[in-house]
Amino acid sequence: MPLVGLSGAVLFGVLRLAYVFFYLPLRTTPQEAGYGYLEILSGQLVGTAELVLLFAAALLAGTLALGSARHAVAGRWRDAVSRPSRDTLLRLARRCAFAALATVLLCLPMLAWILGKEAQRGTAVRNIYLLHFAQIPVLAVQASTVKVSWTATMPAGTPDLSRRKCLLFLGKAAGTAVFYDVATEESLQAPSAQILLTFPHTATVWDSGCSE
């Protein structure tokens, strides 16, 4: 049980780092966007496991193919076509699984930073997938183009988001919605109960009426 708890803490730490790297260029934090411990683990655990299994299977297949090729080049045809023993196969599978896990956990923060910088320049990000046709989730983050209108009197001291044309919606937490203005490079907040969000579903803020 302590090992499970430690593994969960390490996994959460790496995944949270990826979220931090995504939202850092957008001048906010995962917590402000609504991603706490449970949200990150529940949203990422399945996707991370799928990625690890995918990479582990690819590594295992590549290792077995390379071993067969080496035997064939050396003229050991029987060894080239023979099936590895169960112990050998299990040992290779464990090594490939550890290598795949390390690769995924190392690459996630890097990928998150790259996509965060893209969002900073105005590109909409609605979840990050490894393969679009396979829809394998990598990070459940968002920076969606949005139009804001007020449904109640605008609180004093709150920026008038309805006049902003370059907004990305980042998420909400504790009744507060968080936005990023690409034109002014500001992180903005507003009470989520007093605004109405409309998502144009455009690829960039520049496609939805934003201008320098």
Would you kindly state where each structural domain of the chain is located, as residue ranges? 2-208
Note the pLDDT of residue 71.
60
Mean model confidence pLDDT for the chain: 84
- 8 Å CB contact between 115 and 128: yes
The three-class DSSP label of residue 117 is helix
pLDDT for 77 equals 59
Return the structure tokens found at 113.
């930073």
pLDDT per residue over 10-34, tens digit each? 777 888 899 999 999 999 999 999 9
pLDDT at 144 over 50: yes
Q: What is the mean pLDDT of residues 33-46?
A: 81
Distance, CA of 66 to CA of 176 (rounded, Å): 54
pTM of the model: 0.80
* pLDDT tens sequence across 91-136: 888 999 889 888 888 888 998 999 999 999 999 998 877 665 556 6
Q: What is the structure's pLDDT at 76?
A: 65
Q: Comparing 27 with 43, which gets the higher pLDDT?
A: 27
| Mean pLDDT (whole number) for 174-199 | 94
Mean pLDDT for 55-59 is 90
Q: What is the model's pLDDT at position 1?
A: 47
DSSP string over 137-186 = EEEEEEEEE-EEEESSPPPTT---GGG-SSEEEEEEETTEEEEEETTTTE
In this predicted structure, the answer to whether residue 210 has a pLDDT above a threshold of 80 is: yes
pLDDT, position 3: 43
Distance, CA of 141 to CA of 33 (rounded, Å): 9
Q: Which residues contact 12 (CB under 8 A, 6 or more apart)?
A: 37, 40, 41
Q: What pLDDT is attached to residue 28?
A: 96
pLDDT one-digit tens code per residue, 61-89: 888 888 777 766 666 656 555 676 788 78
pLDDT of residue 80: 54
Hey, what are 102's tokens?
Answer: 């390390």
Q: What is the rounded CA–CA span in Å between residue 199 and residue 148?
A: 9
Q: What percent of the chain has pLDDT over 90?
A: 41
